[in-house]
Every structure is written in C-alpha cells, then in structure tokens.
Amino acid sequence: MLSRLVAIISYVGIGSVVCMTLVTGVDITGRYAFNKPILGVTDLIELLIVIVSGCGIAITTALDDHISVDSVYEKLPSLGQHVLRVLAGIVSTFVFGILTLQGFQGGIDAAKLGKMTHTLEIPHFPFMFFLTFGFLASMIFSIRQIVLFLRNKKG
C-alpha cells in the first residue's frame, strides 16, 4: 500500500513540474514573441511549487534519500550506526509531526481569513493542506523506517 502511495505522490509531483515548465514556457513565449504574458503566472507557479515541495519531501523521506553527512557515521561500529539511524528517525518523525500540526493549523487559519493569491484570487488553504499532507506522509514514512531499523532490516 505504501508503494502505491509513493507512486501516486511521485506522479502528482512530476505532473506539477511539467505544468510549471509548460506554463513558464508559454508565458515566456507569449511575453517576448507576442507581448502577451499569461495573467497570474506568478500565482500559478507559487502554488505549483507548494505541490512540488510537498511531494518532494514525502518521496525523499519514503526513499530514505535525504542529504546526510557520513563522515562520523561510517566510523561508528555497526551498533552505533544502527542506534544513530533510529535516533535520526525519531527526530525526523518528531519534526514532521510538528510541521504537520503547524501546517494543518495554518491551513485552517488561511481558510478562515480567506487568504488568496494576488492576481487570480485562488485560495491558499487547499495548497497549505496539500503541503501538510506531504509532512504527514513523511512522518508516516519515518515511523516505518524506525520500525524497519528496529527489526534490523534496511529501511
């Protein structure tokens, strides 16, 4: 089930990057070739970046592909490496939990206040909730990795 979720999140992220590329390309062509830029392109790009960020965080966590510095880790004995991985997973889970709670509260506040983009007046709250979903998925993936590490399997 988690592999299906990872695939869906990947496709949504890829689709958002493709949309950003197309919108930017059409805007640049329209702006310089026809002197007709797309109205609200900045709003669209900002919202698509939120989607890409939410997907990227979740996928990177699911694949255990975050940037790490291995200079100390590699010098530790096997048990030390294992303990360090579990502690890193616990810290990551805690941080993603805080980000999830804060993101959810930010989405509720944005909905209550009616926050919207400047030009197209698209509401912010669905995108804030999407980013929050990315944090929640990352938290779930971090918990899964901790469980796998504690079972002494590769996470």
- Angstrom distance (rounded) from CA 62 to CA 136: 12
The domain segmentation of the chain, as residue ranges, is: 2-150
Quote the pLDDT of residue 150: 87
Identity (one letter) of the amino acid at 8?
I
Percent of the chain exceeding pLDDT 90 equals 77
Q: End-to-end CA distance of the chain, in Å? A: 16
pTM (2 d.p.): 0.86
12-61, pLDDT tens digit by residue? 999 999 999 999 999 999 999 999 999 999 999 999 999 999 999 999 99
Tell me which of 43 and 72 has the higher pLDDT: 43
110-126, pLDDT tens digit by residue? 999 999 999 999 999 99
Asked whether residue 154 carries a pLDDT value surpassing 70, the answer given is: no
What mean pLDDT is predicted for residues 55-75? 85
Cα distances (angstroms) measured from residue 150 to each of 13, 46, 50, 87, 124: 31, 40, 33, 11, 39
